[in-house]
Structure 1
Amino acid sequence: MAGQPAPGRSEYRIGRLAGLDLSVVPSTLWSMAAIWLGAGLIIFWLLGLGWGWAVLGGLLVVIIHWLSDFAHQYGHALAARRTGFPMTGLRFWGIFSTSLWPAGEPALPGRIHIRRALGGPIASILVGVAALLVAWFAGSDGGMLWWLALFAAADNLLLLGLGAFLPLGFTDGSTILHWWKR
């Protein structure tokens, strides 16, 4: 299953936040570095800012992405709590993350799985709309703030919001399709 470390691969517990155990696998570090580099280069070339701003902006993009990913998972956690079958944590892997559920969780009806799956995209869409408002108020001449808000909006609306509905085998869309009419 996606997000699960392969046998012999490492998983590192990084703490607990909002009642959820957090862990990462090594691919998370590589993806963070790639996002930082890519965003930094875009800031340098497209925004015409110096290398210092590019390095800082790239780091802020990484932070925004992981906070957005956490908000997505927290949406799942809130929805899961409302069903009475809560999440236990989340695992960051690559540029994504996976919800973690109790090992001994009983068989659940499809509607419970669907309700839990919808929580993440709903949270991401709400965060994306808020980021769009920040971008709008900053205006296109808002420089770095505008660009970062636009990134947050795209990340939340397109990747973590609507993109989560694509049935890719590891997404919320796959969960919904699997449990539909069951």
Structure 2
Amino acid sequence: MSDPADPPGPRTPGEPPERPPATPRPPGTIRIGSIAGSDVLVSSSWFLVAGLVAVLIAPAIEQVQPGLGAWKYVAGLAFAVVLYLSVLLHEASHAIVARRLGFPVTSITLHFLGGMTAIEGEARRPREEFLIAVVGPLTSIGVGVVAGGLWFVAPDGLIRFTVGGLAGANLLVGVLNLVPGIPLDGGRVLKSAVWAVSGDVHRGTVVAGWGGRVTAGLVLLWPLLQEAVFGTPPTLIDFVLSFVIALFLWTGSSQAITSAKVRARLPQLVARDLARRTLTVPDDLPLAEAVRRAQEARAGGIVTVTAGGQPIGIVNEAALLAVPEERRPWLAVSVVARTLDPGLRLPATLSGEELVLAISRNPATEYLLLEGDGSIYGVLATADVDAAFRAGQR
């Protein structure tokens, strides 16, 4: 599975992306190397699952190779390592295709449910979404087919047992990952198909998210159905595993649906439409006079400028309201103005996700909006952006 993050800058497909800046390693993970320029991490939960696999598979190993004693658990652990190496191939294929399409990949993490590839950015076209998603299951199926072919020529014993187990596990992983529901790769394949047909990426995500929820429900019911299908009564482990996997699927699909609905509303946020009328004043002007002029001009924002008209500060509304009226004649407006750092100067043309990202990079209560020629357009208040977004939710 792959996990998209914040969009990177535009790149030409096929151009090798720059390695993303180093980010703190997630807690509870160990770096074991790198693939395609991306860190390979192993979560602490993997060791628990590897031990569980070793214990569960030990009886089968004992049947294949009697007399191993405690070494059967070592052989089981070795099988778990080989199995997760094939999972690593699955995730590496996601990473390689994503990088070929111009998306930085920060890490590949192996965890108790398999693996995850952290890709920075969302696909720009349905084709990119499809290629990045489908290559993982196809890799697993390919590994399964190759291992299945080797099974016929492998010597009897542990080697043949391992090759057979690798074939069956990879074929199962490949097929199950094609189930059309997010967060499975098949969900992203479905998303790309709906996106291509409807032209709406958010609709594609919602449809695939509901596919994930349906899949979660079926997984939760599986222990109750397996006896009718296979004639094997469910055990406590079957119920626990089905619950954990269903919870994982339901959580991932629900997060995707929520994110899609939020992103669908973002285009309604246009900086130019949300700007407040702005008054420019010298920074040494008495605060009371600045407020009087702003009220007279019906301005919702005050910007301090140099003698040459260059903006240097933006008045903080909360700081202004905190100053008692009787003190305002004796204080310069610069006292309640914040210096206009580069991050507080935004193009008036920003909208949607670009606007939200620009605000999140430099959190503040007010921003100065500038035209392309550098002239002042207005003041953007974060409170107004929040209010507009909440209004769009109704």
Please report the TM-score for the alignment, with normalisation by the length of structure 2: 0.40
Counterpart Cα distance in 2 of 1:147 and 1:86:
38
Whole-angstrom CA distance in 1 between matches of 2:147 and 2:122: 38
Q: 1:13 to 1:57 in 2, by over 3 A?
A: closer
SS of aligned partner of 1:98: strand
Using CA pairs below 8 Å that are at least 6 residues apart, which structure has the higher relative contact order? 1
Give the deviation of 1:115 after TM superposition.
0.5
Deviation at 1:27, TM superposition (A): 2.2
Q: How far did residue 106 of structure 1 move? A: 5.4
Once residues 125 and 40 of structure 1 are traced to their aligned partners in structure 2, the CA distance between those partners, rounded to angstroms, is 26
- Alpha-carbon spacing, 1:148–1:99, altered in 2? closer, same or farther (3 Å): same
What corresponds to 1:144 in structure 2? 158
Structure 1 contact 32–95 (Cα < 8 Å) conserved: no
Query: SS of 2:153's equivalent?
Result: helix
CA distance in 2: counterparts of 1:10 and 1:25, whole angstroms:
8
Of 28, 31, 42 in structure 2, the residue corresponding to residue 11 of structure 1 is 28
Deviates more, 1:110-119 or 1:162-171: 162-171
Match of 1:112 in 2: 128
The amino acid of 2:178's aligned partner reads F
Q: Kindly provide the amino acid, as one letter, of the partner of residue 64 in structure 1.
A: V
Among 158, 174, 178, the alignment partner of 2:187 is 174
Q: Percent identity?
A: 25
Q: Distance in 2 between matches of 1:130 and 1:176?
A: 24
Q: Which runs of 5+ in 2 are unaligned?
A: 4-25, 196-394
Give distance in 2, aligned partners of 1:145 and 1:91: 27
Q: How many residues align?
A: 170
Structure 1 gaps of 5+ residues are 4-8
In structure 2, the partner of 1:163 is 176
Distance 1:54 1:13, change over 3 A: closer
Q: CA deviation at 1:39?
A: 1.4
Instruction: Judge conservation of contact 2:148–2:167 (CA < 8 Å) in 1.
Output: yes
CA displacement, residues 27-86 of structure 1 (integer Å, 9 cap, x when unaligned): 222211111111122212x32522244123202211111101101011112222332224
Aligned to 1:121: 137
Select the structure of larger CA radius of gyration.
2
Q: Which amino acid aligns with 2:168?
A: A
Cα deviation for residue 22 of structure 1 reads 1.9
| Amino acid across the alignment from 1:152 | L
Correspondence list, 1:45-56, <5 A: 46-47=63-64, 49=66, 50-56=68-74
Q: Is the 8 A contact 1:11 1:23 kept in 2?
A: no
User: For residue 157 of structure 1, what is the amino acid of its counterpart?
Assistant: L
1:9-31 CA-partner distances (Å, limit 9, x unpaired): 93324143222212233322221
User: Partners in 2 of 1:11 and 1:108 — Cα distance?
Assistant: 33
| Alpha-carbon contact 2:30-2:43 (below 8 Å) kept | no
Contact 1:78–1:119, Cα closer than 8 Å, also in 2: no
Q: CA–CA distance in 1 between the matches of 2:130 and 2:157?
A: 40
Supply the distance in 2 between the matched residues of 1:106 and 1:176 (Cα, whole angstroms). 14
Q: Secondary structure at the match of 2:105?
A: coil
CA distance in 1, matches of 2:172, 2:122: 33
SS at the partner of 1:138?
coil
Residues 78 and 107 of structure 1: is their aligned pair in 2 closer, same or farther, counting only changes over 3 Å? closer
